[in-house]
Amino acid sequence: MSYRKDNLKKVKQAFSEKRSAALAASRSRLERLHREYPDLAAIDAALAETGMRLVEEITRGPEGIAERVAAVRSENERLQADRAEMLAFYGFPPDYTDVVYECPLCGDTGYRGTALCSCMKKALAKAGLESAGLSALAESQSFGSFDLRFYSGENRRTMERNLDFCRDYAKTFHDGSESLLFIGNTGLGKTHLSTSIAVSVIERGFDVVYHSAPSVFAALEAEKFGRPSALSSAELFDADLLILDDLGAENPGALNVNFLYHIVNTRLVSQRPTLINTNLSPAELQKRYTDRVASRLLGEYRVLRFAGSDVRMQKIGF
């Protein structure tokens, strides 16, 4: 499991800037009060002095240390009480000059000890969705929004099994999870469940690359012939999970067949899971992509068949 390096760098920078802004805002409020209220500045100077005195008392040696430390702490508490009373007199709350962090759990560092704070995990998940191009889809396509009412009879039972399997797959996804092939006609929920898996896997801290087959093959062709491309082969091969949507929608041709074989074979060998969606039947896959590709997809991927009537058409009354 690994967050994308560019996302981790970007999020860490954002947290650093957020923490710096919180500290700067606190300093600004304190400096303003010191300028306007010299008596408050004097109390703060005295408080700083008690801090230094406490260190001095501790370093003087063990004899009578408890009494000496207690005396300094007592004075510090008195000064703190005087400070709070003075702030109230001037119309400010006692915590007015405190640093206000967006996340009080980690102080906007993103870490609690050596572990990631929940706020950074959330930020990294959001960045992961953006990197995968799923920010918009994630709002409407989740396991919870997959509606089984559009399926009936045996089709419904098939789709219930598919939904349960996909939910469990996402929940238990790990390096080396099996690859999946979603087969079925258009509008049966293949993209919906693929997106749901992607969102869940990203939220668990894995790197997901999600693109349509036409865009992936176009990017690989551009890279092959030295043209600029927003997607690199390294991203396709290194991602914890690659989702290839709408296989078969790309232009037919030997070059794209080779690209597909390279993706499928390389990721199988490296034990990196791939999820592929297609409207093509097994026979059509074999005819279009040759036996060496089809045998890997149908023999080494877990095949989930999607059944029913086009949900999109049902939603608009057809």
Report how far residue 264's alpha carbon sits from residue 298's, in angstroms, rounded to the nearest whole number: 12
Distances 179 to 197, 240, 275, 278 between C-alpha atoms, Å: 12, 11, 6, 14
| Span 169-206, pLDDT tens digits | 999 999 899 999 999 999 999 999 999 999 999 988 89
Name beta bridge partners: 180: 275, 302
Instruction: Kindly give the parts of the chain with pLDDT less than 50.
Output: none
pLDDT at site 317: 64
CATH 3.40.50.300 domain range(s) in the chain: 132-315
* The predicted structure's pLDDT at residue 133: 76
What was the pLDDT predicted at 233?
87
Pure H helices in the chain:
5-36, 38-59, 65-89, 118-131, 135-140, 153-172, 190-203, 213-224, 233-238, 254-269, 282-300, 311-315
Q: What is the pLDDT of residue 275?
A: 98
**Alpha-carbon distance values, 302 to 139, 162, 179, 190 (Å):** 27, 11, 6, 14
For helices 254-269 and 282-300, the axis angle rounded to 10 degrees is 20
What pLDDT is attached to residue 2?
64
CATH H-level, domain 132-315: superfamily: P-loop containing nucleotide triphosphate hydrolases (3.40.50.300)
Q: What is the pLDDT of residue 127?
A: 87
Cβ contact 222:228 at 8 Å: yes
What is the tens place of the pLDDT at every residue in 49-99? 998 988 888 888 788 888 888 998 999 999 999 999 999 999 999 999 999
Q: Which residues contact 27 (CB under 8 A, 6 or more apart)?
A: none
